[in-house]
Amino acid sequence: MDLHKEDDRGSAKQKKVKIVFVIGGPGSGKGTQCKRIAQQFGYTHLSVGEILRQEISSGSETGSMIQKIMKEGKLVPSDVTVRLLQQAMQGINSDKFLIDGFPRNEENVKAFEDLTKMEPEFVLYLDCPQDEMEKRLLSRNEGREDDNVETIRKRFKVFMESTLPTIEYYESKGKIRKVDAGKSVDEVFESIKVIFSQGKDYNKVPPSRHKCKCLIL
Ligand code: UDP
Ligand code: MG
């Protein structure tokens, strides 16, 4: 991605942009924890779900396509998602981005790498038991069209089938930092704080030792 910055004297200077992805099942607490991380560690928080919902609100044709897909709990085509994400990043002057709810599948990963030529520093994985995620989604009331039992079940299925392989991919690259996200907001944030303050290797999951709590379908 062309995120070149100009210094005070106006000379073009390449600035290293740091990216952290935050993934986890629906209701695992990504949005809640990302707000806290952003505040405490100075990241710019971008929720890809929110970016897609903004596109729906704009009333564009792409927006109505996205709305249909989201209602069914499916994934928006990667070229659309990555283009919107890249536009959002380019419009913000920041060198630390926390990308919430992305990538969701291997195609997302490839599209992101191809288009931006960037890789995340690490990937925070909020691992939460499915019954807890379902309870949270059904008790929150954000007016989301996809927070109903039927769509929630479909989103879980997409998470297991499409997103877990991306977690394995990043695990093989030593980039997964996993926390137990089934606890209270404060307790989960305590574990996250350790990862963000102790350097990027803390809580690193060794390749192929990973088991997730969400596999209780
Ligand atoms: N979505 C998508 N690609 C993304 C992020 C989100 O297609 O990279 C769509 C997908 O339909 C998903 C919905 O947006 O079910 C809501 O995503 P969000 O992250 O807001 O919610 P979550 O399910 O993680 O609570
Ligand atoms: Mg969210």
CA 64 to centroid of ligand 1, rounded, Å:
15
168 Cα–ligand 1 center, Å: 19
| Residue 90 CB-half CA count within 13 A | 12
**Strand-strand pairing, 18-24 and 122-127:** parallel
Which residue's CA lies nearest to atom 25 of ligand 1?
26
- Cβ of residue 53 lying under 6 Å from some atom of ligand 1: no
Q: How far is CA 166 from CA 11, 72, 82, 147, 187, in A?
A: 39, 21, 16, 24, 26
Q: Which residue has its alpha carbon closest to ligand 1 atom 14?
A: 49
pLDDT in tens, the chain (217 residues): 555 444 444 334 557 899 999 999 999 999 999 999 999 999 999 999 999 999 999 999 999 999 999 999 999 999 999 999 999 999 999 999 999 999 999 999 999 999 999 999 999 999 999 999 999 999 998 989 999 999 999 999 999 999 999 999 999 999 999 999 999 999 999 999 999 997 655 556 666 555 666 654 3
Ligand 1: residue of 33, 35, 45, 48 to mutate (most ligand atoms within 8 A of CB) is: 48
Please work out whether the CB of residue 48 comes within 6 Å of at least one atom of ligand 1.
Answer: yes
| C-alpha 6 to ligand 2 mean position (Å) | 33
Where is 122: in which H helix or E strand?
strand 122-127
- In one-letter notation, the amino acid at residue 39 is Q
What is the number of other CB atoms lying within 10 angstroms of the CB of residue 145? 11
CA of 131 to the centre of ligand 2 (A): 17
Going from N- to C-terminal start, the domains of the chain cover 4-210
Q: Find where tokens 């564009």 sit.
A: 60
| pTM metric for this prediction | 0.88
- Whether ligand 1 lies within 6 angstroms of the CB of 82 is answered as no
CATH level 3 topology of 4-210? Rossmann fold (3.40.50)
Of all protein residues, the one whose alpha carbon is nearest to atom 15 of ligand 1 is 73
